[in-house]
Structure 1
Amino acid sequence: MVSRRGFLKSGGLALLGVGLLGGIPGFLAEAAASEKILSPYKKKKTLVCIFQRGAMDGLMAVTPFTDDYLKAARPNLFMSAAKSGTNNPLIDLDGRFGLHPAMKAFEPMFREKRLGIVHGIGSPNNTRSHFDAQDYMESGTPFNKGTSSGWLNRAVGLLGHDALTPFTAVSMTSAMPRSFYGDNPSVAISNLQDFAIQMRGNPAGANIAAKSFEDLYDQTASGLLKQTGKESFEAMKMLQKTDIKNYTPANGAVYPSSALGNSLKQIAQLIKMDVGLEVAFAESNGWDTHFNQGTENGIFARNVADLSNSIMALWTDLGTYQDDVTIMTMTEFGRTVHQNGTGGTDHGRASCNFILGNDVSGGLVYGDVKPLAVENLEDGRDLTVTTDFRSVFSSVADKHLAINNDHILFPDWKGDRVNVMKG
């Protein structure tokens, strides 16, 4: 006999899939009845995390525009909130910080106090290596490279119930992100239409795409099935029942035709399918702006427009599901206060992040950003990290997903949370 927990955890087996095996076991039927799971799973709270890989310039995304030191340090990159001439000014948020004009989609959410911004956020580890900084942030252990699991995978393990669905944790990426490494069930899906399985430690299963569950099973029957776990196969079977290709976003939502826009559109589909999605992950690339960063136009402006427009398309599309969803961005570090000689910025320290949701205590720019005089800069060159990323991530996970175990979620961290959430 296989234990109830062992059976569920080994594959996160879907109820529909169990039916294929000759009937729903009694313990699953009992669980379904006790939780009143619908269609076929009970609707859950969902945390959507977006990693901005490459290190976003937080000082350009949300600019302390009254700071004369920043103006002097960035003669070609500084942007003003003053409305003059033909220039597109910053969006004045509070008299001190201005939102980049390409992120105008965010302004209504900030005014409605559903969007919160944390400035001066980063890692206590001062590495300026993209690889190491991303690894530390995704593992949630900034001074331990040996951590085998990611913080989002540990969050899945703290959700307080058995995983009855293969869609509890989904990354819309071609490879499993570091955030999802670990023992708890998770799935990486590059595209819902051709569900590619990419499990950590299983290179033989990489980029396998099949038109049907049977085809996939035939390709993997020689031992690979045991390695990948049944959750991936049951996920494909469930997706086959949905017309993914002809999905029409609700409420007039228009997603950008970008990788991020496509990922968030698919996350919206999974949320509205009520398949039990609780943690979703997506990536936004191209934030390493060493050259020709631009101001109201250019590389950075295109990136922030794509980020904000994609997030707002998801938010609009969700409609009545908005109460159940919180969206949070993250980036490995920020950029230097001074511009460089090629019209860009180099690897820095602190940046900012965005948290959107109806349970967010928004309309505020949180954090401690001192005047950017040299004596206030980290190593005399960077915005100082005054908010440990774990103090924000733990606050969001606790309040939205009802997780309250920082010892497991972020080992070795004993700091205070930043209260960006209501309650």
Structure 2
Amino acid sequence: MTSRRGFLKSGGLALLGIGLMGGIPAFIAEAAASEKAKNLYKGKKTLVCIFQRGAMDGLMAVTPFTDSYLQAARPTLFVSAAKGAATKPLIDLDGRFGLHPAMASLEPLFRDKRLAIVHGIGSPNNSRSHFDAQDYMESGTPFRKGTSSGWLNRAVGLLGHDGAGTTPFTAVSITSSLPRSFYGDNQAVAVSNLQDFALQMRGNPKGNTLVSQSFEDLYDQTSSDLLKDTGKESFEAMKMLQKADTKNYKPSGGAVYPNSALGNSLKQVAQLIKMNVGLEVAFTESQGWDTHFNQGADTGIFARNVTDLSDCITAFWTDLGTYQDDVTLMSMTEFGRTVHQNGTGGTDHGRGSCNFILGNDVNGGLVHGKVAELAVENLEDGRDLPVTTDFRAVFSEVADQHLSLNNDKVLFPDWNGTKVGVMRK
């Protein structure tokens, strides 16, 4: 008999899809969702995290445009805020920092004080290895390799859901496999899409045979034990997916998602939030930020990436409509890029970067953090924007305040720093 842990826990269940968009298989659709199930999960707060893999150039996304040292260090990459310059101008945020022109869709959210930026954020570990830096950030233990759990999985544990009434959709990653952030003993699933998905038992000796079985077969085999531990509401939540007709989903408010991996992922996160299936922590990814060559200035690879990022976030926020009060979105990237451009028109692995936090409870309209003048004597190792804000200071503040967590020693066990004021109290 498959156990509840084997069937539902993050060491066990991942939902893997084969397409990018669409509806829910009919075999989950027995019995439409009851009002009881909808009311059970309605009103949950949701934290949405986007990992920008590859290390985003924070100095290009949000540029300290008055810094003459940066302009000299980037003769072909620097984007000016001046009108009539050779490039399309930066969007002046506060007289010192400018938003990349390709991120124009985020400007209204910043002006409306719903979007905050933290600059100089990163890991206290100075590794410039993508693999190690991502691992440290997702585990939340930047000086400990081999931590078995991810910080978002520990956040799920701090939500206090243990036993009856737990939904299988408390923590969902819209990725092809479970991200490092969700590793651990608390319930989490990975869904690459909401159409034609199959069940895969990660770390379960019977996994290979279980993959080939239908949900109905698994339900029949595990029904009595599973229902005893988790309550009927868990399976009612799964049946709610079909009721919502996600195949024909139409975003609210005229939102138009880019036809990209991130756009399709955030569209599905919005659907899950609006279906009231109990989603509290969501995760997805944006790829392609490792800009070693031909990075471009106001156009090019970087501009295309930030256009997608900002337009996806804006579409998601618009789509949420009345659910905006219940959602906070936060981006992250493993490190930044060098202050000086390299010989191939790009930037190499650096240290500090910036991230974006969006929500109605965010202390927005501000660029938080410390960025000193980029003279060589102020740079880390004479080359990089220093990390002046530990990522854990921001992640803990956002998670604590939005999800009402209160145990930073569990969330980030090796951290005892101060928070930066990115959330309103």
Which TM-score applies when normalising by structure 2? 0.86
1:194-219 Cα deviation digits (max 9, x unpaired): 2244554359758988896336669x
Aligned equivalents of 1:40, 1:151: Cα separation in 2: 26
Match of 2:20 in 1: none
Match of 1:46 in 2: 46
- CA, structure 1 residues 66+348, in 2 after alignment: closer, same or farther (shift >3 Å)? same
Aligned equivalents of 1:248, 1:305: Cα separation in 2: 22
Aligned equivalents of 2:200, 2:375: Cα separation in 1: 47
Structure 2 counterpart of 1:178, from 177, 180, 196: 180
Matches within 5 A, 1:121-200: 121-162=121-162, 164-198=166-200, 200=202
Aligned equivalents of 1:418, 1:134: Cα separation in 2: 22
Greater mean deviation of Cα atoms: 237-246 or 102-111: 237-246
Unaligned 5+ runs, structure 2: 14-27, 29-33
For the residue of structure 2 that corresponds to 1:120, the secondary structure is strand
- 1:66 equivalent in alignment to 2:89: no
Q: Is the 8 A contact 2:156 2:281 kept in 1?
A: yes
Aligned equivalents of 1:100, 1:61: Cα separation in 2: 5
- 1:316 equivalent in alignment to 2:318: yes
Match of 2:92 in 1: 92
Unaligned 5+ runs, structure 1: 1-5, 14-19, 21-31
Q: Is the 8 A contact 1:289 1:345 kept in 2?
A: yes
Q: Is the 8 A contact 1:195 1:209 kept in 2?
A: no
- 1:342 equivalent in alignment to 2:331: no
For the residue of structure 2 that corresponds to 1:152, the secondary structure is helix
1:139-165 Cα deviation digits (max 9, x unpaired): 000000121000000000001333610
- 1:375 equivalent in alignment to 2:380: no
1:418: how far off?
Answer: 1.2
Matches within 5 A, 1:292-311: 292-311=294-313
Match of 2:107 in 1: 107
Q: Is the 8 A contact 1:171 1:280 kept in 2?
A: yes
Aligned equivalents of 1:318, 1:194: Cα separation in 2: 25
Q: What is the identity, as a one-letter code, of the residue corresponding to 2:49?
A: C
1:233: how far off?
Answer: 7.8
1:244: how far off?
Answer: 1.4
Structure 2 counterpart of 1:405, from 396, 407, 411: 407
Q: What is the identity, as a one-letter code, of the residue corresponding to 1:127?
A: S
1:404: how far off?
Answer: 1.3
Q: Is the 8 A contact 2:87 2:297 kept in 1?
A: no
Aligned equivalents of 1:65, 1:203: Cα separation in 2: 56
Matches within 5 A, 1:263-302: 263-302=265-304
Structure 2 counterpart of 1:390, from 392, 396, 420: 392
Aligned equivalents of 2:388, 2:354: Cα separation in 1: 11
Q: Is the 8 A contact 1:122 1:333 kept in 2?
A: yes
Aligned equivalents of 1:132, 1:389: Cα separation in 2: 15
Q: What is the identity, as a one-letter code, of the residue corresponding to 2:188?
A: S
- CA, structure 1 residues 257+232, in 2 after alignment: closer, same or farther (shift >3 Å)? farther
Matches within 5 A, 1:253-272: 253-272=255-274
- CA, structure 1 residues 50+206, in 2 after alignment: closer, same or farther (shift >3 Å)? farther
- CA, structure 1 residues 369+320, in 2 after alignment: closer, same or farther (shift >3 Å)? same
Aligned equivalents of 2:195, 2:65: Cα separation in 1: 45
- CA, structure 1 residues 214+137, in 2 after alignment: closer, same or farther (shift >3 Å)? same
Aligned equivalents of 2:175, 2:208: Cα separation in 1: 12
Match of 1:328 in 2: 330
For the residue of structure 1 that corresponds to 2:133, the secondary structure is helix
- CA, structure 1 residues 64+419, in 2 after alignment: closer, same or farther (shift >3 Å)? same
Aligned equivalents of 2:417, 2:199: Cα separation in 1: 37
* Paired positions, count: 393
For the residue of structure 1 that corresponds to 2:409, the secondary structure is helix
- CA, structure 1 residues 415+170, in 2 after alignment: closer, same or farther (shift >3 Å)? same
Match of 2:251 in 1: 249
1:87: how far off?
Answer: 3.2
1:242: how far off?
Answer: 3.1
- 1:352 equivalent in alignment to 2:349: no
Q: Is the 8 A contact 1:334 1:351 kept in 2?
A: yes
Q: Is the 8 A contact 2:51 2:332 kept in 1?
A: yes
Match of 1:16 in 2: none
Q: Which one has more relative contact order, counting CA pairs under 8 Å at least 6 apart?
A: 2
1:375-404 Cα deviation digits (max 9, x unpaired): 000000000000000000000011100011
For the residue of structure 2 that corresponds to 1:110, the secondary structure is helix
Q: What is the identity, as a one-letter code, of the residue corresponding to 1:87?
A: T
Q: What is the identity, as a one-letter code, of the residue corresponding to 2:134?
A: Q
Aligned equivalents of 1:421, 1:298: Cα separation in 2: 34
Q: What is the identity, as a one-letter code, of the residue corresponding to 1:80?
A: S
Greater mean deviation of Cα atoms: 86-95 or 108-117: 86-95
Aligned equivalents of 2:407, 2:241: Cα separation in 1: 33
1:412: how far off?
Answer: 1.1
Aligned equivalents of 1:405, 1:346: Cα separation in 2: 37
- CA, structure 1 residues 196+55, in 2 after alignment: closer, same or farther (shift >3 Å)? farther
